[in-house]
Each structure stands twice: as structure tokens, then as C-alpha cells.
Amino acid sequence: MKKYIKDLVKKARQASYKLAKLDSERKNAILYQMADALLANKEAILKENAKDIKAAAKNKLSQSFIDRLTLNDKRIHEMSASLKEVAGLTDPIGKPIKEYTRPNGLNIKKVRSPIGVILVIYEARPNVTSDCIGLLFKSSNIAILRGGKDSISSNKIIGKVLTEAVKNSGIDFSPFFIVDNPDHKAVDLLLKENEFIDLVIPRGGEALIRKVVDNSTIPVIKHYKGVCHIFIDSSVDVEKALRICVNAKVERPSVCNAVEKILVHKDAAKYFLPLLKNELDKYKVKIKGDSKTCKILKGIACAKEEDWFAEYLDLIVTIKVVEDIDEAISHINFYGSHHTDSILTKNVDNAKRFTKEVDSACCFVNISTRFSDGYEFGLGAEIGISTDKLHARGPMGLEELTTYKWVVTGDGQIRE
Amino acid sequence: MKKYIKDLVKKARQASYKLAKLDSERKNAILYQMADALLANKEAILKENAKDIKAAAKNKLSQSFIDRLTLNDKRIHEMSASLKEVAGLTDPIGKPIKEYTRPNGLNIKKVRSPIGVILVIYEARPNVTSDCIGLLFKSSNIAILRGGKDSISSNKIIGKVLTEAVKNSGIDFSPFFIVDNPDHKAVDLLLKENEFIDLVIPRGGEALIRKVVDNSTIPVIKHYKGVCHIFIDSSVDVEKALRICVNAKVERPSVCNAVEKILVHKDAAKYFLPLLKNELDKYKVKIKGDSKTCKILKGIACAKEEDWFAEYLDLIVTIKVVEDIDEAISHINFYGSHHTDSILTKNVDNAKRFTKEVDSACCFVNISTRFSDGYEFGLGAEIGISTDKLHARGPMGLEELTTYKWVVTGDGQIRE
């Protein structure tokens, strides 16, 4: 196993130097060939996927797990379309971030460059395999992919089909590596290969992410969870605020940018809370409240300490009445997950304070938390939403999959 | 010890929220007060520093170690001047990196923000204490500083003097924390506090850095070593190339951006190598060569495999004759430290290939490697030079000590 991993990462590093030479046109043509290959091999992919589904049913995995695992005609078309969409995005590689000339004549350029080799660790969805291959290839990074053991047949066939497509395009190296050895040790060994792997992106539940962070000597960019807040300030457009709260909670409660907590300024609480409950009741949202909220809204459940940290991903929301914006900001910074938080206010100064002092990737003013998304930001496809502060924060598109280098050109200058 | 560390990091996190509120004017005024306090307390600082020097002599530490440890009138004036200089630099916090409006009316701003709490681990130089405090304070980051045990009295007094200065300015929190408990466990415990510390910057030898990388669950930005290369292409301005090679090797051989390896294109080797040896001999530079170089330059030492990886930090250089630019690039990517590498050439296409394909923080054309430096790049003071690819690469100034957040403002928008 040790030799298998060491050979794999060395090959990946060598391949990264070859991939760095490909220009955008070449990369886009290959992405199109990969996209076509998925469609051309649909039957073979569905056949292998059926094996995973059968095994999952035998292993009594949950229906929602099997849903995520299942490919069908529509999903394979979406996977193919994603690869073509990525081909259409602007290539960040080689773009100058800044350029200037120093008094001694040195021309200094900070230029976007590939990170190198990126390990992605994920769980059940086989479409993640082709999505990651597309984004990493377009940003000139070599992908090492480790999917969940329950989707192994699907991942293998997707890898095989795309490898074939790459070979047919005349490339003499592999731009991605699928780690299909089911042994858990493979991950442990990979996480120590900091000389050959530049970045790890874990995509999955909290247990997986903690394991990666605790064991990796490679930099990790992660997304722990989305405990998103809305703060209703004392002066607020009530109608808009109600619409935003409902949208943020009910439009898609299972995703990380759905609102989980609503904080209401004490001066707005008495009139706003009954109106809010009235709206949320229409969608059967379960409300939990702090003691002050419970006094205003009779009959709701009482929030416990752990509720303030909880990511429900369900039609549940916890509401708290706060003294002022200071308490709202402190609460969000302490209990939140630094993902996305929104203030609803007519007060411009409070909006400024909120966006300056709330320590989150996305600080919103007068909009739904649901807008925290790469597509909504105009970044194109995203590989995830980072709740980290280093390198990438918030939605991660192609640019966030790059590093930079300093290219400095002169004409014989020496340092005195 | 566990409680001491937990209390410290919790206090640091709380302080980070307070520091985030200070505007540039206030921060600059405090930096000036700190600078003045160093001068006003010069005698006390020298007295404590003398204790460290005495202990170091008793412990038979090397003269160069004691040199780095020693403060004097001039060095304290430099420390004070550095703080004033940082006050004069542009504050990156709050500056938009980009701003645009989406079709649905959302105004999207990517805004520079403090990282939060940063742990710096360093060795003997006590001036690093005040330098780090200045840079981290200006970028609105809380500093946790862990200096070497041999400079503990110096670090304590510097911390005390600067704390006093901060208090006098009316700030009710500490923007920095000096970990003066000499127990090694303190570092081990700090490196696991990923909830309260956002970044670790180790500054020191390779052993220190490896230890931090292996044990930290917090993101690390590091500088392993500088194995810098110059590649002499087949078509080259000989006079300039000689001047650059000499400058890169002898101007200050003990620093990380000094050149350690010179690669020479086979078509230039015969005439260039004797000229180069002639120049390097004037400065008593010891030359080691590969077999081809040894054939041309009689009587030099023969390079061993480990020489190609070595950072000498001394008047030694290893020279290799290469077939072509491909061999030069492969050699640099394999043996180099991804710090700074320079091509000397008249061929524009080769310069482009070199800067695209060499996987280093700084890729130079026709200049000395010695220019790899925050001041030379016009970034102002630097906290170090990163050989990492994530977050910051190359010289790290104030901007590299920031993260960003997405501030998105609308007028009641919801997601359909």
C-alpha cells in the first residue's frame, strides 16, 4: 500500500508539470471530449452504478444516501453539461493579478498559477468525480480523487471513460488519479504526502472533515457547516424582512446557506415576531425560542444551549430577542459557523458595523442568506464554500483553485 | 498548563473582535506610542537583554547565536523606527479587492479583513517580537508570540513596555500575547487550538518548521529554505550574466535569496564557465561541479547528489551543465525549494517558458535572485517569504496578513 501511494503521488507531481504547459484552447477541447465521452458511455456507467446501488440496498443504507448515489439519464447529461460549462469559463491561469514597475526598472507581475496537485475526499455522489475533474483540469491542477467506498464501481467507470477521452486527445499523462483501493489506510497515507500534494479539500460530514484536519500535514480547505443567521434590526422594512426570512428558511432547508437562527432587536420583537410566526406556520416551520421569544410567541418550544450551535438542515428555526446590534454581533461570532449572516435594517451605520464586525465569509445586507453561492456571485461552478480564512473564503470558483507567482523581469539589475 | 493556554487563546479570540473595530488612524497613533515607548525604556530593555546574553554565554551558545540575540542602542532605534514605518504603510483592512453588481441588483464586494489570531513561533532575535507586533497590529490581527527560550528576558521586557504603551493609549484589550512559559508543552498545546488560532507562522530552522507542520491542526505558512537557481541560457549577455551571478552569490551569502546553484546551457558552458570561475575566485567562492563542469573547470570539487538539494548560506556554489531549457526547468522543479529562480537569456520565448513552467514563488528574468524581498517588491516591511502555495507565496507584506469577506448588499432580494 505504501508503495502504491508513493508511486501515485510521484506520478501526480510529474503530471502537474506537464499540465502546467497546456494552454486554454487545448484544455477546453479536452473538456469537450470528456463531456462527449460521458454521453457515449452512458449505458456502461449506469450498469456499474447499478452495482453500487444494489450493494447499498444490501447494506441497508438510507434512502437519501441511495438517492445521492444514484445516476440516471438526466444526471449523466448534467455531468456532461457541467464539463462543457467549465470549458466556457474564463481560464484564470496566467492572468496578472497586479503589475507595476519599480524605480530601478524591474517589471513586477503577480500572475495566477496552478496550485499543483489537489486531493479531494468526498462521500457518496459519483457526479462529484466528474465535476472535480472538470474544475481542477480547467485550473491546471492534477486531481487525486478519493470517493466513498459505496460509490466505487461508479467512480471507477467514470474514471475509465474520462481517461480514455484524455488519451484519445493525445495527452501523454493523466490529469487525474482515482484512488480505488478501498483500504482506509490509503487516506491516512495520502494525508502525509505534503511534499507531493499541495492541498486537500474534504467534502462531506463533520466527522470526515475533522479526521482530515487532525491527520493531514497538507494544507486543508474545509467547509464545516452553515449555521447562518438573520438579524432583524429595530428599524426594518417589515414586509421585505418577512419575505427574506421565509425564503432563507423554506426555499431549500437542506442546504448550508439556509437560515438556522433569527435574531430580533428587542424594539422590533413585539410586532415582528407574531407576523413572522404567522408566515412560518404556513410552511410548517418548527420554531424554538429563547425565553423572551417564548413570552411573545406562546406555545413554541424552548431553545436549549446546543440549539444555538445547531445546523438543522430542516424546517426548524431558533429565534432570539437581542438587546442591540452589539449582542447580535457577539452572538453570531460566538455561536455561528462563520459561513453567511445577514442584517435586515434601514440603518446604514448598523449595516456597516455588521459587515465589518461579523467574522463570517459572507456578510449580507437586506438579502436572503440563500444567495451565498458561486453561481449567484457570478463565479461560475464552485467546488465548495470555504468557512476557512486562509487562501479561500466563501464560495470557491476557478480563481480560488489557483495560487500566484511573482514574475519579475529586468535587464541585468543587481542588488547593491 | 492546559488551563493557561485555553485562557490565553480565548482571550485572544475575544480581543480579535475588539481590534477589528479600530480604524487606521487609531492604530497608527498606537504604533507611534509603542515606538516611543521602546526608546523611552531603552535602558530597561538592554538590562534584561544582558541577562539573556549572559545565560547564552554560560550555555556556550555560538557567537553567531549570541549576535542575533544581542540588542544595542542601534538595534533598539531600528525596532522603534520599524514600528513608525509600519504606521506609515497603507492599511489593507476594509479595502475592496473587487466590486461589481449582479443583474438582480446585488452589490458584491470582496473586502480585505483581518485573519484574526496569528501565532508566530521564532527563535533567538528579540527584535522579531516588536516587528511582528507592529505588522500584526497594523493588519488588525491579534499576535500570540512564542520566542526562543534563550531570549525570554528580552521578549518579556519588550512585551511589558509595549503593553504599557497600549494601555496608556486607552485600549481596554491586549493586541498581543507573549507566551513566556518556557515549557515546551505550551507550543504543542497551542498548535491544537484551531478553533481559537487562525494561522501559525514558524520562523526558524528546518527542524522547528517540520515540528510545527507535523503537529499543527491550524493552517501553517512556512518558509523551508531558499535553494535558489540561476539558469544561464545559450544566448546570454555575458557581462551582465557574470555581474548577476557574482551579486547573487557574494553580496550576502547568508540569506535565503542568495543563489546556491548555477545551471549553464551546454552551448554556453565552454566560454562562460572559465569567465565565471575567474569572477567567483576573486571572492573566494568555493565551486562544486557536475562531471561536465569538472571537465571544463579543472581542479574544482565534484558535486554529490546531496549538493543539489543543499542550502549552503555560505560562499559555496554548485554548477551544472544542462542540455537545454527543459533539463534546467526539470532540475529546478525537482531539486529546488520553490523559492526564487532566475533565467538569464536574450531569448524571449525561453524567458516565457521558464516563468510559466518553473514552479517557484519568484520566477525572475535577467536579474539577481537577491531581489526576492518585500522591500524590493515595494510591499514595505515583510513578515517572511513563503515557499507555500496556499494563501501567500513569496514575500509576505501587510496584504498577505489579511483574508477577505464577501459583503453583499441588496434591497430585499430573495432567491427563487
Q: What is the pLDDT of residues A326-383, one digit of tens each?
A: 999 999 999 999 999 999 999 999 999 999 999 999 999 999 999 999 989 998 888 8
DSSP B64-86: HHHHHH---HHHHHHHHHHHHHH
Nearest CA in chain B to A222: B219
C-alpha distances in Å from residue B4, one per residue of B122, B192, B346: 20, 14, 60
The CA distance from B249 to B215, in Å, is: 35
Chain A residues in contact with B219 by the CB 8 A cut-off are 219-220, 388, 390
Q: Give the pLDDT score at B124.
A: 80
Q: Which single residue is written with the C-alpha cell 479539500? A: A201
Q: Give the pLDDT score at A205.
A: 83
Of B198, B368, B406, the CB nearest to A414: B368
Asked whether residue B207 carries a pLDDT value surpassing 90, the answer given is no
Q: Is A116 on the interface with B (CB under 8 A)?
A: yes
Q: Give the pLDDT score at B33.
A: 97
Among A16-20, A251-255, B152-156, B229-233, whose mean pLDDT is lowest?
A251-255
Chain A residues in contact with B393 by the CB 8 A cut-off are 403-406
Q: Give the pLDDT score at A87.
A: 96
The separation between CA B372 and the C-alpha centre of its own chain, rounded to angstroms, equals: 10
State the nearest Cα–Cα gap between B244 and chain A, in angstroms. Answer: 6
Homologous superfamily of the A228-376 domain (CATH) = Aldehyde Dehydrogenase; Chain A, domain 2 (3.40.309.10)
Amino acid at A218: I
Chain A residues in contact with B217 by the CB 8 A cut-off are 213-214
Q: Which single residue is written with the C-alpha cell 452495482? A: A51
State the nearest Cα–Cα gap between B68 and chain A, in angstroms. Answer: 23
State the nearest Cα–Cα gap between B81 and chain A, in angstroms. Answer: 22
Q: Give the pLDDT score at B224.
A: 81
Q: Give the pLDDT score at A207.
A: 87
Residues in Cβ contact with A86 at an 8 Å cutoff, skipping those fewer than 6 apart: A31, A134, A135, A138, A380, A381, A398
Asked whether residue B96 carries a pLDDT value surpassing 90, the answer given is yes
The CA distance from A405 to A113, in Å, is: 6
Backbone φ, ψ for residue B202 (5° rounding): -85, 135
pLDDT tens sequence across B3-46: 999 999 999 999 999 999 999 999 999 999 999 999 999 999 99
State the nearest Cα–Cα gap between B376 and chain A, in angstroms. Answer: 8
Mean pLDDT of chain A, nearest integer: 95
The total of other beta-carbon atoms located within 10 Å of residue A98's CB is 9
Q: Give the pLDDT score at B381.
A: 82
Nearest CA in chain A to B117: A389
pLDDT tens sequence across A37-67: 999 999 999 999 999 999 999 999 998 889 9
Instruction: Kindly determine whether residue B411 and residue A366, on different chains, have CB atoms separated by under 8 Å.
Output: yes
SS3 A242: helix
Backbone φ, ψ for residue B215 (5° rounding): -105, -10
Cell reading at A178: 482515482
Q: Give the pLDDT score at B380.
A: 84
The CA distance from B348 to B351, in Å, is: 5
Residues in Cβ contact with B62 at an 8 Å cutoff, skipping those fewer than 6 apart: none
Chain B residues in contact with A240 by the CB 8 A cut-off are 411-412
Beta sheet of A340-344, edge-to-edge order:
A301-302, A286-289, A316-322, A259-265, A228-232, A340-344, A362-367, B402-413, B107-114, B96-101
- Please report, rounded to a whole number, the percentage of residues in chain B having pLDDT higher than 70: 100
- Residues of A (221-260) whose Cβ lies below 8 Å from B: 221, 237, 240, 243-244, 247-248, 251
Q: Give the pLDDT score at A223.
A: 84
By DSSP bridging, strand A402-413 and strand A107-114 are antiparallel
Q: Is A173 on the interface with B (CB under 8 A)?
A: no
Chain B residues in contact with A16 by the CB 8 A cut-off are 359
Classify domain A2-222+394-409 at the CATH class level. Answer: alpha beta
Is the Cβ–Cβ distance between B134 and B82 less than 8 Å? yes
The CA distance from A355 to A231, in Å, is: 12
pLDDT band at B204 (very low <50, low <70, confident <90, very high): confident
Of A368, A395, A405, the CB nearest to B363: A405
- Residues of A (308-327) whose Cβ lies below 8 Å from B: none
The CA distance from A139 to B12, in Å, is: 37
Chain A residues in contact with B364 by the CB 8 A cut-off are 407-410
- Helices and strands: H and E segment counts in chain B: 14, 16
Is the Cβ–Cβ distance between A223 and A360 less than 8 Å? no
Q: Give the pLDDT score at B90.
A: 95
DSSP B364-396: EEEE-GGG-STTTTT--S-SEEE--SSS--EEE
Instruction: Kindly determine whether residue B409 and residue A365, on different chains, have CB atoms separated by under 8 Å.
Output: yes
SS3 B48: helix
What ipTM does this complex have? Answer: 0.93
The phi-psi region of residue B327 (left if phi > 0; otherwise alpha if psi is between -120 and 50; otherwise beta) is alpha
Q: Is A105 on the interface with B (CB under 8 A)?
A: no
The CA distance from A283 to A300, in Å, is: 15
Beta sheet of A107-114, edge-to-edge order:
A96-101, A107-114, A402-413, B362-367, B340-344, B228-232, B259-265, B316-322, B286-289, B301-302
DSSP A332-390: HHHHS-SSEEEEE-S-HHHHHHHHHHS-SSEEEEEE-GGG-STTTTT--S-SEEE--SS
Q: Which single residue is written with the C-alpha cell 487609531? A: B26
Q: What is the mean pLDDT of residues B400-409?
A: 97
pLDDT tens sequence across A190-247: 999 999 999 999 988 888 898 999 999 999 998 888 999 999 999 999 999 999 999 9
The CA distance from A415 to B1, in Å, is: 48
Asked whether residue B251 carries a pLDDT value surpassing 90, the answer given is yes
Q: What is the mean pLDDT of residues B378-400?
A: 92
Cell reading at B318: 554548485
pLDDT tens sequence across A122-131: 988 899 999 9
Domain spans, chain B: 2-222+394-409, 228-376
